[in-house]
Chain A
Amino acid sequence: MGLTGIQIFKLLPKKNCKECGQPTCLAFAMQLAQGKTELSKCPYVSDEAKAKLAEASEPPIRGVVIGTGDEQYKIGEELVLYRHDKTFFNPPLIGVLFKDTEDDATIDARLKNFNEVSFERVGYILKAHLAVVKNESGDAGKFTALLQKIKDNTKKPIMAMSDDVAALEQAAGILKGTKGVLYAATEENYEKLVDIAKANELSLVLKAPIEKVAELTPKIVEKGFKDIILDTEARDAKTMFQHNTFVRRLALKKKDKAYGFPTCNLIYEMTDDEIKEATIAALAIAKYGGIIVISDCKPEVILPLAIQRLNIYTDPQRPMVVEQGIYPINEPDENSPVIVTTNFALTYFIVAAAIEASRVPTWLVIMDVEGMSVLTAWSAGKFVADAIAPFIKKVGIADKIKHRKIIIPGYVAQISGELQEELGEDWEVVIGTREAADIPAFLKEYVAKNQ
């Protein structure tokens, strides 16, 4: 809730009748401000006060829901300018462009990628999210035909894009029930488009110069429609960064409701160069983009961009983790070396990549230490001898190997003696390198020596 206890108190009936369960109206207001009670507990608040309080309790940036079922996403509802201040909550949607002037083969190939390109990373699926269908031809028939085709062939949400209100009206009919997006309302046509979007339960991009937004969004909200996304007509990287920053700051720091909406960045209009396009898209992900539209859906582009989205939107207070267990890398067998480390996703990624690069078949054993790095887990008492030893015995690595040697990270060399004792005579504890970068050389030498 955005209001302070005193501000809320001013809106209350001031009867001090205690029916809400609090001794006074002021006490009730204080509890409300902290989110510890609900407004409905006071039977006497006026409708006007209710409306004011409801508005004040809305998030400063509107959350817009797009898509349905497994392909439903929310954008907006962000609370901070810098991810370290809390976290970024709702990652932007990666949109892929389909033009009604492209031939069938191009469309089909892209659609196949759009549906199929996907990667798994620490339990997250990396992929594109939104089909952006553009009426480039100016022909409403071609546009709706393509739209229908894409709708019939994907479960993912669609954004229909045209300058022609009549074409958009038809498009809205096709998209009804999908929670898709219409692009775009302008100063000239917004009244009509808001009605269309409302009737078909779609969200609506408002395309307007940044100065005009303050004038237009309140009028749209007044019509009872709030699922607005802003395209401030930035068509180069610099303007895009600035506009996205202005919108975010106006909403959060100036509490300007007129700018409290997610943004839409048409990256494909900013360059014809594939690398540059994806690099600008990455900037949009870091700096406040809501919908980010690129021209194609190649796996080699979606992979790095989706990793960017995952990284920037990782909660800085909650490290990403991987599951505890045994990970075979480079097809290990019963003679292959065994490496032990923690389940902090970053540690896992770096160590796994180093082992992979070494091309040495290896068993990587991951221990659950609540997602801490090697040294952090060691200082927290979680990656220590009397925890590692029982884990090694329990995890079942002994069944996969003939030898009994485990390699531990060099940074915890100090635990090797105690770990050796805990594990018993059968086992041998080997101290690895400190840095993962040195793992390839280390493993090659190790294997040569132990042959």
Chain B
Amino acid sequence: MAFAIPKENYAGKVREIVIGKGDKAVKIGGYDSMPLCTFEGTWPNKPVVAMEVYDVAPELNAQGWPPATFEAFKDVINDPGAWAKKCLEYGADLICVQLAGTDPNAQNKSAEEAIEVVKKVKEAVGDIPLIIWGSNNLEKDQEVLPAIMEAFPNENWLFGPAEEGNYKKITASAIGYGHLVAGKSSIDVNLAKQLNILIENLGLSLDKVVMDPTTASLGYGIEYTYSVMERISLAALAQNDDKMQNPFINDLAKEAWKTREAMLTVEEEPTYGEQNTRGILMESITAIDLIAAGSSILIMRNPTAVKVIKELINELYS
């Protein structure tokens, strides 16, 4: 008897989303099978990697970045434009401008300062589409993100995270200034769906929305993110729930690199072994889990982790 591949039938399909415009626009989604199951569906677009550029320079060690990552960017950490270019050299598909410095609990940088940073990145990378990520402060994000949208109208960039507490202002500006929104809900299938519906009800087409189900790191809750993404994907594909058929974005580098496994030096924890490999693996394993769970956009940091993950994406989706 000939071997028959045990295939699943899926009723639904995830929306194809375009970020940016022109030749350099990036497409995600558009798939109609569970992640990596290319043998039973079509995946017109592979997952993409967005590399981070921060609005404030990171520090080395202690509370900052471990050497593995710091070294890779040390020449450019005070120059967002040069930093973004470096990311492209490292193989980034898009650039994610992280506005951590706007957080009132951090440097409390103003919207104007954030606009300056974005401007420098844009000048450096031309038409490469940008993802603009807030500081996760509900109040501040709904002030800063709309200001940037207004300053760069109709670029069709992706802005996030928009949460239940601030999605209204962010979504309204995205509609007004021609951008996309990443809605963030907290590890719950129903909350993810509800946020999509709320955003759509405000008038933004779901063709302009991606979902952040709340991203946790390996060792710090990855299993929750992993399973909620599998459940949302099954709802979208197997049950054809059209309010959940949106691709995922995962802001993972921040989570992976703040773990004690990535941060502790060999002096602090000799039994943990060499620090660089350890940290890079915290990032790359978190990323491969998220790819297996259906991520379309991975926000990443370390060039070695990015290289390995890009290679694996190419192999897995070849």
Contact = CB atoms under 8 A, between A and B. Distances in A.
A299 B308 contact: no
A238 to B, nearest CB: 5
Interface string B263-287: 1000000011111011011101101
A300 B223 contact: no
A84 B261 contact: no
Contacts of A274: 277
B312 A276 contact: yes
Interface in A349-378: 349-350, 352-353, 356-359
Contacts of B285: 278-279, 282, 304-305, 308
A14 to B, nearest CB: 35
A286 B226 contact: yes
A276 B278 contact: no
B24 to A, nearest CB: 28
Interface string A309-328: 00110101000000000000
Given A286-B226, A311-B219, A237 B316 contact: yes
A413 interface: no
B261 A304 contact: yes
A283 B39 CA distance: 18
Contacts of A304: 218-219, 261, 278, 281-282, 285
A242 interface: yes
Given A238-B315, A304-B218, A441-B105, A299 B226 contact: no
A286 B290 CA distance: 10
A300 B274 contact: yes
A249 B6 contact: yes
Nearest to A279: B284
Main secondary structure of the interface of B (DSSP, over half): helix
Given A282-B285, A299-B272, A304-B281, A276 B311 contact: yes
Interface string B13-50: 00000000000000000000000110100000000000
Interface in B277-314: 277-278, 280-282, 284-285, 287-289, 292, 304-305, 308-309, 311-312
B5 A307 contact: no
Contacts of B3: 210-211, 214
Contacts of A305: 281, 285
A108 B301 CA distance: 36
B93 interface: no
Contacts of A211: 2-3
Contacts of A117: 271, 273
B234 interface: yes
A254 B6 CA distance: 8
A214 B219 CA distance: 38
Nearest to A313: B223
A311 B222 contact: yes
A438 B272 contact: no
Contact of A275 (B8, B36, B284): B284
A308 B290 CA distance: 12
Interface string B227-262: 100110010000000000000000000000011110
Contacts of A311: 218-219, 222-223
A298 B292 contact: no
A246 to B, nearest CB: 6
A318 to B, nearest CB: 12
Contacts of A356: 260
B231 A84 contact: yes
A287 interface: yes
Contact of A353 (B1, B227, B259, B308): B259
Given A275-B304, A283-B292, A300-B281, A307 B218 contact: yes
B275 A300 contact: yes
Contact of A253 (B6, B219, B289, B309): B6
B263 A357 contact: yes
Interface residues of A, number: 58
Nearest to B278: A300
B261 to A, nearest CB: 6
B281 A301 contact: yes
A440 interface: yes
Contacts of A441: 105-106
A437 B259 CA distance: 11
B318 interface: yes
A92 to B, nearest CB: 14
Nearest to A270: B315
B221 A82 contact: no
B233 to A, nearest CB: 10
B288 A279 contact: yes
A314 B220 CA distance: 12
A307 to B, nearest CB: 5
Contacts of A353: 220, 258-260, 263
A349 B223 contact: no
A430 interface: no
Given A82-B227, A440-B63, A303 B315 contact: no
Nearest to A241: B36
A286 B274 CA distance: 25
Given A84-B231, A299-B272, A242 B278 contact: no
Given A211-B2, A304-B261, A298 B274 contact: yes
Interface in B44-96: 62-63
A312 B289 CA distance: 9
A83 interface: yes
Contacts of B275: 300
A359 B62 contact: yes
A195 interface: no
A82 B234 contact: yes
Nearest to A280: B312
B273 A303 contact: yes
A357 B8 CA distance: 46
A356 to B, nearest CB: 6
Contact of A282 (B5, B224, B289): B289
Closest 8 CB pairs of A and B: A300-B273, A299-B273, A211-B3, A300-B278, A249-B6, A304-B281, A282-B285, A84-B227
Given A237-B312, A311-B223, 18 more contacts: A83-B226, A84-B227, A84-B231, A117-B271, A119-B272, A211-B2, A214-B3, A242-B36, A246-B6, A249-B6, A273-B308, A275-B277, A278-B284, A286-B292, A298-B277, A300-B274, A312-B226, A357-B260
5 contacts: A82-B234, A119-B272, A238-B318, A254-B6, A279-B287
